[in-house]
Amino acid sequence: MRAVGLITEYNPFHAGHEYHLEQAKAMSGAETAIAVMSGNFVQRGVPAMYDKWKRAQAAVQNGVDLVIELPVAFSIQPGPFFAKGAVQILLAAGVDTIVFGAEHAQWDFMKLARTVRDVTTHSDEFHNYQTTYASNFNTVLMDKLGVTINEPNDLLGLSYALAVLELDAQDQVALMPLQRQGSGYHATQISDEDFASASGIRHVLKNGLPKEKLSQQLPTGTQQLLMEAPFLDYEPNMWNLLHYKVLTTPVEQLESIYQLNDGLAYRLLETVEKNAESKQIDWNVFMQQFKSKRYTYSRLQRSILYLLLNVSEIEMKVALKQPYIRPLAFNANGQLWLKHGRKNFTLPIIGKVDQNNLKGLLKLDFRAGRLYNMLRSNSDEKPQDTKRQPYRKQ
């Protein structure tokens, strides 16, 4: 039995993801589909609209065989770290193919990655700190290769290929790009004729627009999720937590937080103090005030999350060296894969959570789960990482 790997956020699972799943099995010839999915926080540095358990359950109800959590240390990172963690976990779980969406599926991403690795290793352009890394990156690529990689799925595809090279896994796993269909990654318009983006679906839910607009975009399992679980409106509580944290912490301690250095701690303090009298705030306006030319919005949002999680440089470095396999949901096929494959898994597998896990491998994810629940309006939500069992589809 063979397995194909999918690297996902499922925020939420929609018709485009269903197409990805169907095509991945067809392209790879695999009988089992294993998704590595971001937990309660996604790569942009914000909470997922529904918690990891509900999103994993929806994925399995819609045809994924096994959902494994991407630990928060990897899920709230830029592409290279995000990709490396996901690829490591899929390799450890025994997949031999990874199928990913791409805006330019005709590209040979492994060939491109080999060239990029050489170019970025020897170029001085990456020491230009007045612009973002992405800008420097594309300046070099255009100069050396005559190509620009600035579409989000293409960038992730390149990151997956670079991760395969770094892990020396070219003989273990094949990368298969799948042409992205439907709306653009950031598009917010919903059309019955195209696959909507996750951004568009979140836009409808966040702004209280009629959910009937989504009927053609969401498989049955996701529609059930939307009826049963409220959408997470995190911004008011995030502002309150950030406001308190920044104004009660000496700036020298703020600088000890992972990636809150090089003047960012002082900039954050100034921005918070500017809004110190506000009980509520428009989060987008706040982020525009915090923004600088050097950093992207996602990078700055992640910095805020690192602060709220109280992650130090050392703690993050340790966590990035300790990936693990934690199943969140599976069907009979996925359970069979776990049963027969676990003796060959090359990473620790976490089933039942105990105190050793909470103080060790799950330490950062445990904090992230607590923060996620603090961002909810309903304080009675049960803990995210204790007294939980993976969802089993009967």
Would you list which residues are annotated within the binding site for ATP?
Answer: 7-20, 101, 153, 180
H or E, element range at 329? strand 327-330
> What amino acid is encoded at 309 in this protein?
L
Collapse the DSSP code of 323 into the 3-class scheme (helix H, G, I; strand E, B; otherwise coil) and give the result.
coil
Helix (H) or strand (E) holding 206: helix 198-206
CA atoms of 66 and 35, how far apart (whole Å):
6
| Cα–Cα dist 247/332, whole Å | 51
Sole residue written with tokens 């992972």:
258
Q: What is the dihedral of CA 171, 72, 217, 391, to 10 degrees?
A: 90
Nearest alpha carbon to residue 160 among 120, 119, 112, 197:
112
251-257 own/partner pairs: CB under 8 Å, 24+ apart: 254/307, 256/312, 256/313, 257/303, 257/306, 257/307, 257/310, 257/311, 257/312
CA distance 75 to 55: 15
Which residues are known binding-site members?
Answer: 7-20, 101, 153, 180
* 346-360 residues labelled b (16+ CB within 10 A) or e (exposed): ebeebeebeeebeee
Measured at the alpha carbon of residue 284, what is the angle toward residues 279 and 287, in degrees to the nearest 5? Answer: 90
Q: How far apart are CA 329 and CA 310, in angstroms?
A: 29
Q: At what angle do helices 133-145 and 109-122 cross, to 10 degrees?
A: 110
Nearest Cα neighbor of 225 from 49, 63, 39, 384 is 49
Whose tokens are 């309660």? That residue is 40
Q: What are residue 203's phi and psi, to 5 degrees?
A: -60, -45
